[in-house]
Amino acid sequence: MINTFKQQLEVFSKAIGIRNRRNEILASNIANAATPNYKARDVDFEVELARSLSVGPIKTSNDAHFAVASKNLPGKVQYRKPLQPSMDGNTVELAVEQMEFAENSVRYQTTLNFINGKLSGLMSAIRGE
């Protein structure tokens, strides 16, 4: 039972770690919005989660199959391409960074709530409720 429960929560525990790392990167972007030549950075959550769970890219088994390539490299912080580049070389767009930070924070909290629900359900089962 413990291994099964552990396996169920593994995805969510890794997701929390990646979301936390992403919040730190996005907060750094926001803090450096006025720093000349600062380049906005981010990580691709889905690529990082797949990498942390050791889920590799789709492999082709026949020459007639198409290989699917990711635009982002796993384990690497990517630079964000600005919609409106600034004259001082800074690529941080405050509205974009704030929106990304808010969305990531909501997803972080949702993942925590899900884990809490799973643990509460397990505790109820243990108590026989």
Taking the C-alpha atoms of residue 102 and residue 23, their distance in angstroms, rounded to an integer, is 9
Query: Of 17-21, 55-59, 76-80, 118-122, where does mean pLDDT reach its minimum?
Result: 55-59
Neighbour count for residue 19 (Cβ, 10 Å): 23
Residue 2: the pLDDT is 53
- Whether residue 101 is contained in a domain is answered as yes
pLDDT tier, 125 (very low <50, low <70, confident <90, very high otherwise): confident
pLDDT attached to residue 9: 82
Question: Residue 103 domain-assigned?
Answer: yes
Task: Give the domain range for residue 79.
Answer: 2-58+72-127
Domain count, the chain: 1
Rounded Cα gap, residues 80 and 77, in angstroms: 10
Supply the pTM of this predicted model: 0.77
40-76 residue pLDDT tens: 999 999 999 888 887 655 555 666 655 554 445 556 7
User: Which of helix, strand or coil describes residue 123?
Assistant: helix
